[in-house]
Amino acid sequence: MPWRSGSHLYLLASLPVMAVLLAGAGFALQLDLADLPGFGKKKHAKLRDRPPGEYAYVFTRLAHYSPRGRSSRGHTWNTDYPKADRQFLQGVLRLTHIEAREREQVLRPMDPNLFAFPFLYAVEVGYMRLSEEEAARLREYLLRGGFLIVDDFHGSWEWASFLREMQQVFPDRPIREVELSDPIFHCFFDIEEKIQIPGLQYLYSGRTYEQDGVTPHYRAIYDDNGRIMVMINFNVDLGDAWEWADLPEYPEFYTSLAYRLGVNYIVYSMTH
């Protein structure tokens, strides 16, 4: 005999052991290392989320078209995305009973699922361009009961541009200042003052305004029953306040106000 039969046994016995070890290693690799203490930096917390249709509320960002070019760099729909959205949603979940999805979603105006999400958020609307089709769709969306928040646009040039686009949607409806007594400022928190919430640039410039947008304006387009369809936050930047909530230098005062306004907007959209 070349070798003893016993040696085969050892070889065979080691195979299952190796298999188990390999499996265990593979299993360990499956885990998100970020969850294990000490393994890598926590970039984004693991979100336990399901498809949007399974939640009562999903924060939906409108991916509007902005013209390409140097002038509009930095002024696109995804400004502050996704950190602002995520952090804001954490606030919503903590403060209210709303069954909100932890992850935001993004929809284009022509997306077939648009009508399943009656809440929309759009930023940098000074650089937004709506086609005729998109304007009609938005009009239908709002008249059926949808709610749109626009945020983070400053100065008279951006306003004029925004006004032009909105007049495609609602040629006959005026844009009015929202009174402090309006239910939108009292449906969850009571907002007693209209404060200018600055963007991150405040930390460098010391000014709460950008360009020539010195005065903050909270404006809206109303429907025939006096309900707000479009909430316009002009010369303020709620998005930045949500995004930089975890930055120690950004004043907590503005962050809190931004959260309070945002939560009020959501509660308003779900009650009116």
Among the residue ranges 26-34, 94-102, 230-238, 254-262, the one whose residues contact other proteins (CB under 8 A): 94-102
Q: Which of 62, 148, 187, 197 binds other proteins (CB under 8 A)?
A: 187
Identify which of residues 63 and 95 has a Cβ nearer to other proteins in the complex.
95
Cβ nearer to other proteins, comparing 43 with 144: 144
Q: Is position 110 an interface residue for other proteins (rule: CB under 8 A)? A: no
**How many CB atoms are closer than 10 A to CB 45?**
11
Among 83, 90, 98, 260, binds other proteins (CB under 8 A): 98
106, 131 in Cβ contact below 8 A? Answer: no
- Interface residue with other proteins among 35, 49, 99, 212 (CB under 8 A) is 99
Selected from 24, 40, 53, 67, the binder of other proteins by CB under 8 A is 53
Q: Determine if 190 is a binding residue for other proteins (CB under 8 A).
A: no
Strand order, beta sheet including 119-123: 105-107, 60-62, 119-123, 147-151, 228-234, 217-222, 175-177
Q: Does 252 bind other proteins (CB under 8 A)?
A: no
- Tell whether residue 149 is a contact of other proteins (CB under 8 A): no
234 with 220: CB under 8 angstroms?
no
User: Which position among 43, 74, 144, 192 is part of the footprint of other proteins (CB under 8 A)?
Assistant: 144
Does residue 157 bind other proteins (CB under 8 A)? no
Which amino acid, one-letter code, is at 36? L
* Of the residues 35, 49, 54, 212, which one makes contact with other proteins according to CB under 8 A: 54
The candidate with the shortest Cα–Cα distance to 197, out of 218, 182, 181, is: 218
Output the smallest distance, CB 263 to other proteins, in A: 9
Binding range to other proteins, per CB under 8 A, among 89-97, 129-137, 195-203, 241-249: 89-97
Burial label, 183 (beta-carbon count in 10 A; 0-12, 13-18, 19+): middle
Contacts 24+ apart (CB under 8 A), 224-229: 227/272, 228/147, 228/178, 228/182, 228/184, 228/268, 228/272, 229/142, 229/143, 229/146, 229/147, 229/148
The residue from 20, 45, 46, 115 that contacts other proteins (CB under 8 A) is 115
From the number of C-beta atoms within 10 Å of its C-beta (0-12, 13-18, 19+), residue 201 rates as middle
Residues that bind other proteins (CB under 8 A): 53-54, 56-57, 95-99, 115-116, 118, 140, 143-146, 187-188, 225, 266-267, 269-272
